[in-house]
Amino acid sequence: MTIRAAADGSALGNPGPAGWAWYVDDDCWSAGGWKHATNNQGELMAVLQLFRATAHLPDDLLILCDSQYVINCVSKWMPGWKRKGWRKADGKPVMNVELLKEIDEALVGRTYRFEWVKGHANHPLNEAADARARAASEAFQRGRPVDAGPGWVRSGDADAAAPVVAWIPAADAAAPPEPSLFSFDDEPADGSAVTVEVTARLTHQQHERLLVLASRQGVSVEQALADLV
C-alpha cells in the first residue's frame, strides 16, 4: 500500500512562533512546534515527523508538500551536500543541517516520493495540514497548549508508531533536563497497589516531554504519568 499524507509548516513572523503538521485524515495526524523557528524548519520537521511516525510500516510513502525548498533538499541537494561535508557549492554551511541529517537517517530503507501541491489552493490534505501547523504556531504565540493530534492511528496497524522527535531550534536549545515529577519512597508492606488521585500542573515543556514518553512506551499519557509516580 501507499500512504498518502500532507506535510506543512507555519511561522508567524518567520522566524517567530512556529508549527508543523502532517495529515492523513481526521483520525491520523500530528502537530507540534516551537516558540521561535522558521517556516522552513516547520516544513522540514513535518516531513521528519511523518517519516518517523510511519517507520514501523512497510508501506510506500507519498508526501504532498507545498514547499519546493523541502522537496529539493530531500530529493536533489542532500547527496551533494553530504559529499561536501554538509556544505553548499559555495562552501558555506547548509542551513537547518540538524534537521536534514535527521531526515537523511529516516530515509534509510524507505520507499517514498514527493508530490508538489500549490499551497492555499483548496487541496484538502494540504489545507488540513496547513490549518494544524498554523494552529500550533498560534498556540505558541498565545502561550496555550498545542493540540498534538492522535498521532499515527490506522485500522489494521498492529505496531505502535515511533515517538515524536524532540528537536529544538538552537535559540531554544537550553531546555531543562528531563524532570522527575514525583518521588515516593513508601510502599505498602504487602506490596499491594494503592490507587490515589493526583492532579499535576505541568509547564508546556513538561507536557510535551510527557507526550514523547507516552509515545515511546506505547501507552496513554495518563498511564505514562502514573508510571512516573
Q: Is the dihedral of CA 123, 128, 131, 134 positive or negative?
A: negative
CA distance 20 to 137: 8
Is 130 labeled as catalytic in the residue annotation?
yes
Options 102, 104, 130, 208, the catalytic residue: 130
Other CB atoms within 10 Å distance of the CB of residue 45: 31
Is 16 labeled as catalytic in the residue annotation?
no
Is 26 labeled as catalytic in the residue annotation?
no
- Residues 214 and 221: beta-carbon distance below 8 Å: yes
Is 8 labeled as catalytic in the residue annotation?
yes
Options 85, 90, 120, 185, the catalytic residue: 120
DSSP state of 87: B
Is 9 labeled as catalytic in the residue annotation?
yes
Options 9, 19, 42, 151, the catalytic residue: 9
CA distance 135 to 32: 9
Is 120 labeled as catalytic in the residue annotation?
yes
Options 33, 66, 104, 149, the catalytic residue: 66
- Residues 18 and 37: beta-carbon distance below 8 Å: yes
Options 19, 42, 43, 149, the catalytic residue: 43
- Quickly tell me which residue has 525548498 as its cell: 69
Other CB atoms within 10 Å distance of the CB of residue 162: 18
CA distance 217 to 213: 6
Q: How far is CA 130 from the centre of its chain?
A: 14
**Residue numbers annotated as active site:** 8-9, 43, 66, 120, 130
